[in-house]
Chains A and B, each alone.
Chain A
Amino acid sequence: MTGGHAHGATPPARKDVSAGRLIAVLGGSGAVAGALILIAFTATDPAIQANRARRLDAAISEVLKGPARYDTLYVVGDALAPQPPAGVDPASAERVFLGHDEDGTATGFAIVAEAPGFADIIRVIFGYDPATRTLIGMKVLENKETPGLGDKIEKDSAFVTQFGGALTPLIGVKQGAGKGDSAEVDMITGATISARTVIKIINQALERLGPALAAQGATAP
């Protein structure tokens, strides 16, 4: 203790405290802190996981326009399999969700993909029908884009609804400059980078997963 601070809280130590005591105090409080965090983690983790699963589930239903049920399929090379590749944790393996209607007919895939936007990673989920190469729906899962401008990719329903029925690969056009092509998506004035990123995320994901999705579509029961 130098006591140099004008308003130091504790008076300068009267005598030297042994190093062992300092280590014991820090180590002891560290252990207690660790135990507390462990208790809090155990208590809250189920709810946190449930929240996350519920959010994903709601998003899948939204972009597939309310499927009767959906299956989780894992991407293994250029094909889809009901099991993740050997040695990969199911939670971290790349997966898509295949929706079915009441009759059990496959209606389309829900795919989660992400890329850096204007501020941070933008994560979107979109529904895709490989038979017609059109999108079913799109929802932004995560974005930190500028409030009021970039976050329109999530909040502006005029932008979001265009993705339903759009032919892929998508073409981003300036508002009102489209030629009526069904692959055209009107960008957002003032949020060009954010809007372009969403289109890019979808096009790149389909380019990457296209063969696997097409193969699955052909062999689907």
Chain B
Amino acid sequence: MKQSTARDDLVRGVWQENPVLVTALGLCPTLAVTNSVANSLTLGVATFFVLLASSIMVSSVRRWIPGEVRISTYILIIATFVTVADMVLAALVPDIHKALGAFIALIVVNCIILGRQEAFAGKNPVGRSALDAIGNGIGFMIAMLLMGSIREVLGAGTLLGFPIFGSNFEPWVIMVLPPGGFLTLGIILLVMSAFQQRRLRPAAASAAEPERRAA
């Protein structure tokens, strides 16, 4: 029983409740920085780190935080880890840090992170909170990489900076611009919900069948 709970905590955020693709949270970075795989990956990793560190911290101190000030304390914790991540990225990968600009600092207001603190880490033990954060972090990264690879391949003709088409390929520039982000996200969500509906249809059809007969 315990085993299945831990697995549920981990997998929920990756798939059934994927923060971007299912619950549609954190769309701002998903649209704004996914114009290349490298940018997506870096922001994904930074968000993952902040989410995991904040969840562990919040769930370990949750008993001492009065309800009245919990949101401000969560934000303080999140902001601290974001600042640390910002400095580490500036020191280690200055070019990518430059390309991401303000979006690293804006991880503070990424609603996925505050959402997980409020919905999970604030009322669950450290272990489960960490698993939940890992799951959601991976889920966010999957969505970012999906967006990033589609947009970079179509919009720049490269993958991780390496050209993948011949020299005759004319980059579809709109894909790396903001409209391309909306377009890509829309198509991904469309495909996701098409799958969802196909999975639900047999069940719905068999449930509706007896009613129709009765009528």
Contacts and interface: CB of A to CB of B under 8 A. Distances in A.
B64 interface: yes
Contacts of B76: 26, 29-30, 33
Given A10-B123, A33-B77, A144 B101 contact: yes
Given A9-B118, A144-B101, A44 B91 contact: yes
A41 B87 CA distance: 7
A29 B65 CA distance: 10
Given A29-B73, A144-B101, A1 B84 contact: no
Contacts of B123: 9-10
A60 B129 CA distance: 50
Main secondary structure of the interface of A (DSSP, over half): helix
Contacts of A12: 67
Nearest to A12: B67
Contacts of A21: 66
Given A17-B66, A144-B101, A29 B77 contact: yes
A149 interface: yes
Contacts of B91: 44, 47-48, 51
B176 A37 contact: no
Contact of A26 (B72, B87, B173, B176): B72
Interface in B34-86: 35, 61, 64-70, 72-73, 76-77, 79-80, 83-84
B40 to A, nearest CB: 14
Main secondary structure of the interface of B (DSSP, over half): helix
B161 interface: no
B177 interface: yes
**Which of the four size classes fits the interface of chain A?**
20 to 34
Interface in A102-153: 142, 144, 146-149
Given A7-B119, A51-B90, A148-B171, A13 B66 contact: yes
A69 interface: no
B83 A40 contact: yes
Contacts of A149: 173
Contact of A148 (B72, B79, B177): B177
Interface in B122-170: 122-123, 155
Which of A12, A22, A55 neighbours the largest number of chain B CB atoms within 10 Å of its CB? Answer: A22
7 contacts: A7-B119, A17-B67, A26-B76, A41-B87, A44-B90, A48-B87, A48-B94
Interface of B: 35, 61, 64-70, 72-73, 76-77, 79-80, 83-84, 87-88, 90-92, 94, 98, 101, 118-119, 122-123, 155, 171, 173, 176-177
The 5 closest A-B pairs by CB, nearest first: A47-B91, A148-B173, A44-B91, A33-B80, A51-B94
